[in-house]
Each structure stands twice: as structure tokens, then as C-alpha cells.
A and B are shown apart, each in its own frame.
Chain A
């Protein structure tokens, strides 16, 4: 075999790189779903939990456009027939008060960095 050392060195690099997710997690604690802080003042969200989990980002995006461009402030819930104000700080964060204990938990674990906070302030964050 020609260049045995080079070929095996190359293969070693290949194996190490390709198995990175496996050896990188050795010794670290088992992954658990992030614990979110449940609101104390409310029982139900604007929509059911499955929809909120998968669609909250699209919903907030639509809310922003509808409020800012069309001046439509009312959101009629599809699940509870209630009417909510389309507002991140006034509606969402009325119950989910703490960004660190709610929003960031999931966002951090999947490396999502939403640009909500480029404009909005985190009301509870200031008191830290």
C-alpha cells in the first residue's frame, strides 16, 4: 500500500469528524426537554399548545404585519372564541412574564435567535 500513513491519517480524521455528535456527548447529562415556566395567572393560551409550539413564530410575524401595516389589533382565537390584543408585550408577556424562563429556554437549545428583541424590550429583564 502506497502512502499508508497518509491514508490512515486521513481516514482517522474522517472518522473523528463524522462521529463528532457521538463522542462530543459522552459524559454529558442526558438531554431533557426544557422546563418552561407555566403562567400563574392564566389557564389557556390564545390557541392550543400544539399549534402554539409549531406556529407561534408565524403568528407573531403575522400579528406584527397586521398591526403595523393594516391597523388590525384584534385577534379572534380559533379555539376559545376569545378576543386578544395582538401584542407581544401586552398579551404574550402578560402571562409568560419572564423571557429567560420561557422564550429563551427553547430558543437557546435549538440555536434560534429571534429578532423580536431588536425592538421590543423584555420588561422583566430590566430588573435583573
Chain B
């Protein structure tokens, strides 16, 4: 039901763009204003979220450790899983960000012979996530060919590498295949695994469908109902150089694509997708595991913190407390009953 709701939402967004840019002729809004606003919301919103997280108190030293802590010299320390130096923390964070180390540690629980609980390694989520994120990264970087003139060699090379197998014309991008396959796996996992389905919400399905919609509209434009790519580049280059133009004859599918991307960008800072910035700010990952060596000072300034005193609590609930026969410091005021 939640999946269907999200799917319907993405269809509605696509239909909205089709109607707006296709039928009502609002190409300017869908091709220029909305994408530009979406980029602004994305960059500013992202920064605000990160600053907000940066301001939150980290009262305790709470890194998660998966190895031997630094101890006596003859006990071998696990310098990456339980780092005590900044260098170790950096390596640990790099492994986390580039290779999703903690997903690699994913386990699943099974019941063997009815009652015996067994934990086993489960790498599929890690593999699916890695494939999805890297295919997405390649796709985004590849798209820079529409925003640069001349196209830098690095981007052109990436494009050539991605179409290495030279299948068909326009050549098939390998990242397209990996991207859609990984997305479908991540979606099916949510629907098929009962435990995961139970905890999946609209905000889990929606980005999946939205990104799938972006992928399908892009793939459709490249291989099936092709658009005039030079006109598209005129529009995108105009967008980033502030000489905004709408060339004639770009198909409606392009506006669906760019509108869904705009929705993704604007939705990004408000959603779980913020794990892009959040992964850098995870205290369980980015703190030094040397709590015995260095004292972690709680940065909370208590004069700035509003806390609920017992007196205030009793003022709030006195009536109910008296009603239940609980002891109170101050009796109920006269005439309060």
C-alpha cells in the first residue's frame, strides 16, 4: 500500500510535468525556473541541515568499535576498526564512505531446525547499495557533458568507458543497466523480505520510485523516443550561464526527466537522502576510539539549555497527581478544583 502510494505520487509528478510542459506550454517554468529553484533549495537546504547537525550536542564519546582497542603494547590493536589516531579515523571514514564498510558487516538471522538461532553474513544489500551508488555517481558525472563546453577530457573518457561494449547506437551505457538492476533489487528487497517490508515507509519507497522514474525517462529519451540532444544542451548551457533559452522542439519527455530531477533535488534536504551529508557526521563512525586516553567534554552549555524542572512538572500535572493520590510538594491551590 505504501509502495503503491509512492508509485502513484511519482506518476502524478510525471503527469504534472507532461501536462504543464507538454499541453499547457509552460516550458519556461519546467525547463528553467523550477530546475534553478530546485538547485538553490538543494544547496542551501543541504548546508542548513549540516550546520544544524553540527550544532547538536555530542554529549558522549560514542564510536562503535569492531576490534581491539589500543591497550598494552603487547596487545595488538585493530587500528582501523578501533582507531585511536586521526589517521585511523580518516581511513575508517574513507572505507565507510567509499566502500560502505558497515553495510558489508550486515548479517541476517535464521532459525535452524525450528528453534536454533543462527546469524550469517548477508552481502546482497551491500552489493546492491554499492552498485546503485556508483552507477548513480557515474551517471551524474556523465551528465556534465551537457553543462560544459568544451567537454573536459575526463568526462568524455568516462562516457567512452561507460559505453565500452559499443552495443547499438546510441551506444548502451553499462551504468544504465547496473543502475536499473540495482534499483529494482533494492525495491524488491523492500517488498519481498517481510521484516524489511514491515519497517518500510512511504519515505523509503518514494525516493526509489522517483529515481527509477528519472532513470526510465532518461533511458527512454536516449534509446527509444530520442530528443534533439543539441537543443537540450542549448537549454542546459543557458540554464547554467543565466542566458535562459527554450529551444523549439524538445520532446515532453525531457521536461518529465528534468522535473523529476528537480523534485529529487528539492526533496533531498528534507529527507533521508541527507545521509549523503550525514555519513560524514556520524558520531559512531567519525569519533576517535580513545575515550580512556582523552576526556570527552560535553559541549552543552547548561545556561542555554531549557530543561523541565520538577517544580514545573508538578505545576503541569498537579491536578492529575492529586487525583491519583500521588504525593505533591505543594497542595492544590484553593478554588482550583
Contacts and interface: CB of A to CB of B under 8 A. Distances in A.
Interface string A84-128: 000000000000000000000010111111110000000000000
Contact of A57 (B156, B170, B230): B170
A24 B42 contact: no
Contact of B144 (A3, A20, A54, A114): A20
B155 A115 contact: no
Given A31-B234, A110-B146, A11 B51 contact: yes
Contacts of B231: 33
A78 B243 CA distance: 38
B327 interface: no
A21 B147 contact: yes
B252 to A, nearest CB: 14
Given A3-B54, A15-B43, A18-B42, 15 more contacts: A2-B54, A14-B277, A19-B43, A21-B144, A24-B148, A30-B237, A34-B230, A54-B227, A57-B170, A58-B170, A61-B168, A106-B229, A109-B230, A110-B145, A110-B151
B11 interface: no
A14 B229 CA distance: 29
Main secondary structure of the interface of B (DSSP, over half): helix
Main secondary structure of the interface of A (DSSP, over half): helix
B50 A11 contact: yes
22 contacts: A1-B54, A1-B299, A2-B54, A2-B58, A11-B47, A14-B50, A19-B43, A20-B144, A21-B144, A25-B147, A25-B237, A28-B241, A31-B241, A57-B169, A58-B226, A60-B169, A106-B230, A110-B145, A110-B146, A110-B229, A111-B145, A112-B159
Interface of A: 1-4, 7, 10-11, 14-15, 18-22, 24-25, 28, 30-31, 33-34, 50, 53-55, 57-58, 60-61, 106, 108-115
B50 A50 contact: no
A115 B281 CA distance: 46
B155 A54 contact: no
B334 interface: no
Contacts, number: 104
B166 A115 contact: yes
A108 B150 contact: yes
A79 B239 CA distance: 35
B155 A111 contact: yes
Contacts of A14: 43, 46-47, 50, 277
Interface string B245-275: 0010100000000000000000000000000
B110 interface: no
Contacts of A24: 147-148
B230 A111 contact: no
B151 A109 contact: yes
A109 B159 contact: no
A24 B168 CA distance: 33
Interface in B205-232: 226-231
B155 A109 contact: no
Nearest to B149: A31
When A and B form their complex, which 8 residue pairs have the shortest distance between CB atoms, in order from nearest? A21-B147, A31-B237, A57-B169, A54-B226, A61-B169, A111-B156, A111-B151, A111-B145
Contacts of A21: 144, 147-148, 240
Contacts of A15: 43, 47
Nearest to A60: B169
Contact of A114 (B169, B228, B299): B169
Contacts of B230: 33-34, 53, 106, 109-110
B160 interface: yes
Given A54-B227, A58-B169, A2 B155 contact: no
B16 interface: no
B158 to A, nearest CB: 9
Given A25-B241, A31-B234, A50 B145 contact: no
In this complex, the member of A106, A108, A109, A114 whose beta carbon has the largest number of chain B beta carbons within 10 angstroms is A109
